[in-house]
Amino acid sequence: MASIVKRGRSWRAMIVRKGQRVNATFDTRQEAEEWALQAEAAIIAGQKVATVVPVRVGQTIADLLQRYSREVSVSKRGARWEHLRIGTLCREPTFCLPVHEFGPEALAGWRDQRLKVVAASTVNRDLNLISAVITHAIKEWRAPIAANPVHLIQRPRNPRARKRRVSMDERRAIAAALGWDMASEPGTRMQWTAFAFFVALETAMRKGEVLSLRWQDVDLERRVAHLSITKNGDERDVPLSSEAVALFRLLTRGEGSRRIVRVESGTLDQFFRRARDKAGLPDLHFHDSRREAATQFSKKLSNVLELSAVTGHRSLNILRDYYRPDPTDLAKKLG
């Protein structure tokens, strides 16, 4: 007997029979019931049960996006971002087209309209997600799409990479705006926001990496912080400078599984934006700390491979965007 339950906006069918347990997810209860009947018959006949549901004729691109959100996005670190982005795309008329009618012309039209509202970098992030969904649908769901339309249109040119550095005076201004004296253990969420920014400046860690650190991840004797998962899905050991070690030594060491920085991501974002505005630095981003750290590290490390090992960049082209040396320093090296 099949068990069919509703989960969010989808229906999940599960069968346990003759020692086998199989399940699949569907958009409607009727589809779940039909699959369950076929699956039970296949088990009784000793045949293999198909748990991958192919894309049906008449389904829209929005259907593919929503399915991807349910089945694929949920396993990613950026699941919340993808859910929100997919929700926005599904409200666009372009993505309500049936799969067989969706092509490069429709996508190019959406691109041009979208560029009137948001920056080119935002459109490219949307296109990256759309491309990932369609590629997955073709490979895993047997979607009747001959070629990925994203590959058949011209992408907008991204703006120039940011060059923003963070000076010592600006560090002090942010700390003051957040009420942290830079010499004692943070006690409020505002002060923890400042502490996180300073850690990022001394390690080149991303915001999420700093916030994910637990005491069991940090070995101050070996001067290493272990990141079990990063943005690109890899583990990474981050060497700690003497300045970074000094920051962690300000803190009272807690239990191994306890998070070190005690502020949530959304709260940190809110406090940091208020602090930068109060300090008169409206163009400063938290992520600029990564560029500043990478540039400072480049002065101490002998080659770019060592630098990429510290920052975790897979692509040297992307790493180049984070390396922003002072021309005066380069001139001194030339002699």
Instruction: Report, as residue numbers or ranges, the catalytic residues.
Output: 206, 231, 313, 322
User: Could you tell me which of 323, 257, 261, 256 has the C-alpha nearest to residue 290?
Assistant: 323
Pairing of strands 10-17, 2-7: antiparallel
Q: Is 46 left (phi over 0), alpha (psi -120 to 50) or beta?
A: left
**15, 43 contact by CB (below 8 A):** yes
Helix then strand count (H, E) for the chain reads: 14, 6
**95, 61 contact by CB (below 8 A):** yes
Q: What is the CA radius of gyration of the chain?
A: 25
Alpha-carbon gap, residue 310 to 238, rounded angstroms: 6
User: Could you tell me which of 118, 115, 113, 145 has the C-alpha nearest to residue 131?
Assistant: 145
Task: Locate 242 and state its tokens.
Answer: 């003497």
Measured CA angle at 73 (ends 24, 126), to 5 deg: 130
Task: Locate 15 and state its tokens.
Answer: 């069968």
The full DSSP string for 17-49 is: ETTEEEEEEESSHHHHHHHHHHHHHHHHTTPPP
The full DSSP string for 267-285 is: HHHHHHHHHHHHTT-TT--
Q: How many CA atoms lie within 13 A of 156 on its CB side?
A: 23
User: Could you tell me which of 312, 313, 314, 315 has the C-alpha nearest to residue 228?
Assistant: 312
